[in-house]
Structures are given as structure tokens and as C-alpha cells.
Amino acid sequence: IRFPSHNTDTMTTSAESFSQAQNYIPGGVNSPVRAFKGVGGTPIFFERAAGPHVYDVEGKRYVDYVGSWGPMVLGHAHPEVIRAVQETAAKGLSFGAPTQIETAMARKIFELVPSMALVRMVSSGTEATMSAIRLARGYTGQDKIVKFEGCYHGHSDSLLVKAGSGALTLGVPSSPGVPASLAEHTLTLPYNNIAAVRDCFDRLGDHIACVIVEPVAGNMNCVPPIPGFLQALREECDKHDAVLIFDEVMTGFRVALGGAQALYGVTPDLTTLGKVIGGGMPVGAFGGKRAVMEKLAPLGPVYQAGTLSGNPVAMAAGLKTLELISVPGFYDQLADTCRRLCEGLEACAAAAGVPFTTTRVGGMFGLYFTDQAEITSFDEVLACDAERFKAFFHAMLEEGVYLAPSAYEAGFVSAAHDEAALEYTFHAAEKAFRRI
Ligand code: PLP
């Protein structure tokens, strides 16, 4: 057998890097969306990043609207975050024993998201949601969970489930490897459909352990909740003693300092966090009401654990990030940047005569090739012109703007996206919209 060289010096281009990666990594990537299947072409391999920019292995610079899928709310390689990581790393990478910085982190989370009275740190968003669901099941003694079409909560078995045919039929696995006997406990309802929620609870409410929802859906592009939707979830969960879980892995510290729950004034029983909370390191967390969280081991019988949970280097990056985003006015500025971006892109599209609209909440946004004024459901997202998005994505890429490589993902701005980055984006967009 002849093995390709391990020397990265030979991987001079993204295409060459991708070709070599495929020899050793399934599909050449460690998370499927990175493979550009949603837009076609070859993924860009990155080498470094700073502020609003990422640089590929060929030295080309892009204004970045992916931000590592959300975490980089301060921009890339913020000097204070990097320093915190370096100083902490120098003292040892992991102890597998309690450290004071974990308490500092939990206290900071509680200060910013007061519904999270007790917090358990984990290492990814998937772990956070998986653990929150186990806890909700353990707390209520019920097995059924409710989730929504178009929402993504990571890849644990109970959540890789789609609706069966017909309303309220048993859920079916959306991936081979997920047992049908487990999937049948997951009920999938249409997002923003209050009547479907009420009907589901009327019929099955007493068997439901929890509802898990993205309070702003960011995994089917960016779909804000309609007025009353989150409140209806709260009401039904209260009525039936079910646990309401807000999956704020994406929206936490992204749409507002206190997350979507602060923005919309609805308090969940449990919250899951990820992305921003790690400042770019692998971190997740779940937490909430004392009565529920106290059921978790070692206090209670619901088991959950992690060798690297609360890792000091990850905590240092996350805590420094949380400190820096807590300064007054941070979210006003972030939301203003997002507004200017969306309005600017809409103006470029209008000038080129391309039917196009945007959605945005705080520092996250959605781009839609449609002549529909409002997007509130997964079906409406699916009805948009995905082919036109692909063409736009590649035209922007060529011009040096990196958008999410899928028509079904939210985009993100950071505090580092300054006037120059926006102007650069608009120049690129003028050309891109004309070309498509
Ligand atoms: N929940 C939401 C809302 C997410 O957006 C994601 C990831 O994109 C997850 C959970 C899973 O997080 P992770 O990829 O860190 O496992």
C-alpha cells in the first residue's frame, strides 16, 4: 500500500487538501456540512483567522459570516481570549478534578441567564441537549419528547427523528442507526404552529416529558418565533407538568445577553448552551430550575458525566468571552451591525432585480431568495430558491465573502464586523446579485 504524504507542505490548495483529507477522514470532513454538499464544489480549507476575516490555505482572505457556526461573537482570535487561553494552558491542560474557574463560569451564566440556577458543563451542544432530555425524562418519569420540524439539536439518537406520515404518528429515525423503538417516543411538530402544539398536548400531554425548541430557529436558515408561540409552549408544559427546554446553543449570548428567553420574556425550565459559551473551544452546558437539576448525579439518580467537562482551558476562553460581551451596549452594536448587513444586502438585491429578503434577531440572520415578505415556517423556507442561493454563495466566495455553505443555516455577525467589512461585503454582493 502506498500512503499519501503526511507532510502538509504538499497540500498547497484547498482542492489538494480536500483530496488528501478524503484518504483519512470520512468525506474529508469532521462534520458533514463542511463538505459543501449543500452548495456543490470543494470546501475551503482555512489556516488562520483574525477579527471579521478568515484566511484560506492559499492565503486568500474572506469576510466571514459563519463565525465557526456561531461561537465567534467577538470576532476571530480576540487578543484577550487568546491570552486567557495561553495563560491557562501553561498551568496544565486538564485535571479531571474540580477547579475554581468552573464555579466562576456557572456563576457568570446564572448572572446572565437567571433561569439557570444550577449549571452542568459539557463539551458540545449535542451533549447538552442529550443530557437535558435524559434529565427531563428522569424528572417526569415520562418518555415522549416534542421537537419541531427544521430545528436541530445535535445528533443524539432521540433527536435524529422526523415526523411519521400524518399528524402525531410515531416518529421515525432520520438516520440509519437510530432504533425505531426509540424514535417512536419523539413527536415532531411544525415550528410556529400553535394549534399543532395544543392538539398534541390535548391528546398526549400526560405522557410528554419535555418540549425542546430553538427559540429562534437557526438550523433552517433563521426563523424567529411568531408572537405567542413560545408562550403557548410554556402554557402547555405548565398544564401537563412537562419540562420546557430552550435549546439556546445558538441563540444564547447571540440574540441578546440573556438569550432568547430574555428577548421574548418566556422562561424555560431547562436551557442548553454551546457555541459562544466556549468562545471557540468545545463547550456546552445545560442548566435550569433547582428542582430539576437536583435530580442529576451525584445529587440525584439521573446519570451524566464527562472526562473533559469543565476543562480549564475551555472555561478560560468561554469566561473571558462572556466577560467581554457583558459590556453595556455590546448587543445594541451587534444588532445594529446585523441590521446594516441585512438592509445593505436587500438594497443590493433590489438594485439587481433579484427577489430576496432577510430575517434577523440580534447577531444572527437569514438570507432568502423569495418574493415572500415573511418567513415563519419550515415549508416556507423549503419553498425558497435554493439553486439561486448556491449561485450566490459561490459568487460571494469568489469575491472574498464566506457565507454558510447551505441555504438552511443562519449567518452570524461579530463585534469585529466593522464598516470596512460591511462595505467590502456590499461591493461583493452588488457583483454577485448581478451575476446570478
Ligand atoms: N443545538 C443547536 C440549536 C445547534 O445549532 C447545534 C449545532 O449547530 C447543536 C444543538 C449541537 O451542537 P454541537 O454541534 O456543538 O454538538
Q: Quick one: pLDDT at residue 163? A: 81
Give distance in angstroms: CA of 435 to centre of ligand 1. 34
Report how far residue 432's alpha carbon sits from residue 436's, in angstroms, rounded to the nearest whole number: 6
Residue 74 lies inside a defined structural domain of this protein: no
pLDDT tens figures, 71-81: 999 999 999 99
Across the strands, what pairs with 368? 357
Domain carrying residue 41: 8-64+328-435
Residues 256 and 352 in one domain: no
What pTM was estimated for this model as a whole? 0.96
pLDDT tens figures, 121-141: 999 999 999 999 999 999 999
Report how far residue 298's alpha carbon sits from residue 144's, in angstroms, rounded to the nearest whole number: 25
Of the candidates 325, 351, 386, which is a domain's last residue? Answer: 325
Handedness of CA 261, 264, 265, 267 (dihedral sign): negative
pLDDT of 84 > 60? The answer is yes
Report how far residue 243's alpha carbon sits from residue 215's, in angstroms, rounded to the nearest whole number: 15
Q: Which atom of ligand 1 is nearest to the CA of 125?
A: 12
Residues 97 and 13 in one domain: no
Residues 47 and 150 in one domain: no
Look up the CATH number of the domain holding residue 199: 3.40.640.10
Q: Please, which residues have CB within 8 angstroms of residue 113's CB and are 6 or more apart in sequence?
A: 248, 252, 258, 259, 261, 262, 271, 273, 287
> Average pLDDT for residues 42-68, to the nearest whole number?
97
pLDDT tens figures, 94-117: 999 999 999 999 999 999 999 999
Q: Please, which residues have CB within 8 angstroms of residue 237's CB and are 6 or more apart in sequence?
A: 210, 211, 243, 244, 269
Tell whether ligand 1 has an atom less than 6 A from the beta carbon of residue 251: no
Task: Please say if 60 is a catalytic residue.
Answer: no
Look up the CATH number of the domain holding residue 348: 3.90.1150.10
Residue 69 lies inside a defined structural domain of this protein: no
Which residue has 469568489 as its cell numbers? Answer: 398
Residue 417 lies inside a defined structural domain of this protein: yes
Residues 24 and 88 in one domain: no
Tell whether ligand 1 has an atom less than 6 A from the beta carbon of residue 409: no
Of the candidates 302, 325, 348, which is a domain's last residue? Answer: 325
Number of domains in the chain: 2
* Active-site residue, from 108, 275, 289, 320: 275
Say if CB 69 and CB 278 are below 8 A apart: no
Here the cell at position 402 is 464566506
DSSP state letter for 189: E
Here the cell at position 153 is 439539536
pLDDT band at 1 (very low <50, low <70, confident <90, very high): very low
pLDDT tens figures, 352-411: 999 999 999 999 999 999 999 899 999 999 999 999 999 999 999 999 999 999 999 999
Report how far residue 141's alpha carbon sits from residue 235's, in angstroms, rounded to the nearest whole number: 20
DSSP state letter for 277: G
Residue 182 lies inside a defined structural domain of this protein: yes
Provide the 3-class DSSP secondary structure of residue 307.
coil
pLDDT tens figures, 156-170: 999 999 887 665 567
Here the cell at position 369 is 431568495
Residue 235 lies inside a defined structural domain of this protein: yes
Residues 60 and 112 in one domain: no
Q: What is the distance of C-alpha 89 from the center of its chain?
A: 26
- Exposure class string for 66-95: b at 16+ Cβ within 10 A, else e: bbbbbbbbbbbebeebeebbeebeeeeeee
Can you give the three-state secondary structure of 44-62, one letter per residue?
CCEEEEEECEEEECCCCEE
Give distance in angstroms: CA of 335 to centre of ligand 1. 22
| 219: nearest Cα among 319, 148, 318 | 148
Q: Which atom of ligand 1 is nearest to the CA of 69?
A: 8
Among 220, 246, 275, the mutation site with the greatest number of ligand 1 atoms within 8 A of its Cβ is: 275
Q: Which atom of ligand 1 is nearest to the CA of 126?
A: 16
Q: What rounded mean pLDDT belongs to the chain?
A: 96
Residues 28 and 154 in one domain: no
pLDDT tens figures, 301-354: 999 999 999 999 999 999 999 999 999 999 999 999 999 999 999 999 999 999
Residues 297 and 365 in one domain: no
pLDDT tens figures, 170-182: 789 999 999 999 9
Task: Please say if 238 is a catalytic residue.
Answer: no
Here the cell at position 401 is 465573502
Residues 311 and 332 in one domain: no
> Checking DSSP bridges between strand 284-288 and strand 357-361, what pairing results, if any?
unpaired
Long-range contacts of 305-311 (CB under 8 A, 24+ apart): 306/121, 306/122, 306/123, 306/127, 307/96, 308/94, 308/123, 309/120, 309/121, 309/122, 309/123, 310/98, 310/99, 310/101, 310/102, 310/105, 310/121, 311/93, 311/94, 311/123, 311/281, 311/283
Tell whether ligand 1 has an atom less than 6 A from the beta carbon of residue 69: yes
Tell whether ligand 1 has an atom less than 6 A from the beta carbon of residue 152: yes
Q: What is the DSSP string of 363-404?
A: TEEEEE-SS-S---SHHHHHTS-HHHHHHHHHHHHHHTEE--
Report how far residue 133's alpha carbon sits from residue 145's, in angstroms, rounded to the nearest whole number: 8
Give distance in angstroms: CA of 427 to centre of ligand 1. 32
Residues 238 and 369 in one domain: no
pLDDT band at 6 (very low <50, low <70, confident <90, very high): low
Task: Please say if 65 is a catalytic residue.
Answer: no
Q: Quick one: pLDDT at residue 9? A: 64
Q: Please, which residues have CB within 8 angstroms of residue 1's CB and are 6 or more apart in sequence?
A: none
Residues 178 and 206 in one domain: yes
Residues 50 and 91 in one domain: no
Q: Which residue has the higher pLDDT, 10 or 84?
A: 84
Of the candidates 325, 355, 384, which is a domain's last residue? Answer: 325
Residue 3 lies inside a defined structural domain of this protein: no
